[in-house]
Amino acid sequence: MSNVIYVPWSGAEANEFLEKSRQWQDSDNSGRSKHKRDWVLTQYGQNGLAKIKRGSTIYVRGHGAPGFHSLAPVDDGNGLIDYRTVCDRMIADGLYKSFVGTIKFSCCDSGVPTLGSQSFAAKFSQHLRLSKGYFLVSVVGYLGAVDSHYNDQGGKNNHRYVTFFGKETKSKFAQVRF
């Protein structure tokens, strides 16, 4: 089983999330996290999803917003790609139809809908299954602002947190599965 961090941009657009993702690797490698994950870091154009194992988790990075169907590589909104493009890029990078695992959108508000607009993760999940035929994948979005780094919140181990209803909570408690 692998933990893959996927940045759906290449070149300069990928830099912010490649840098932030290296912090995840450093946290696990330094012993500050109770988890000892083998992180694989890849970005669009590297074919890095072609050899992932059954049961792996793919963490897709980007900036999101409630009910917004696109992700951005930077906070200013430049470089937007919609859920269809993210899906197409993952397939182009080797995501195979028989993949059994989880895709987690580690993006702010990726699981939050708005009145009349589904969440990014819900739209991605529907497109992946109904338009592309990937039926064995579980898709996860988050119900708030995702901290892009680990912190210990005064405890002995580092965790990733999500600001959920104004309170920071461990990311595992602020997930919604599609």
Average pLDDT, the chain: 87
Nearest CA to 59 among 25, 11, 29? 25
Rounded to whole angstroms, how far apart are CA atoms 170 and 125? 23
26 Cβ neighbours under 8 A, 6+ residues apart: none
pLDDT confidence band for 67 (50 / 70 / 90): very high
pLDDT confidence band for 80 (50 / 70 / 90): very high
Residue type for 90, please? M
What is the reported pLDDT for 156?
46
Q: HSE of 73 in the Cβ direction (CA atoms, 13 Å)?
A: 20
Nearest CA to 90 among 54, 55, 59? 59
Place of tokens 């898709």: 139
What is the reported pLDDT for 26?
74
Domain-wise residue ranges, the chain: 3-177
pLDDT, tens digit, for every residue of 103-145?
A: 999 999 999 999 999 999 999 999 999 999 999 999 999 888 8
DSSP per residue, the chain: --EEEEES--GGGGHHHHHHHHHHHHHHHHT-SS----EEEEETTS-TTTTPPTT-EEEEE-B--TT--EEBSSTT-TT-EEHHHHHHHHHHTT--TT--EEEEEESTTTT--BTTB--HHHHHHHIIIIIT---SEEEEEESSEEEEEEE-TTSSS-EEEEEETTEEEEGGGSEEE-
- pTM strictly above 0.85: yes
What is the reported pLDDT for 166?
76
pLDDT confidence band for 8 (50 / 70 / 90): very high
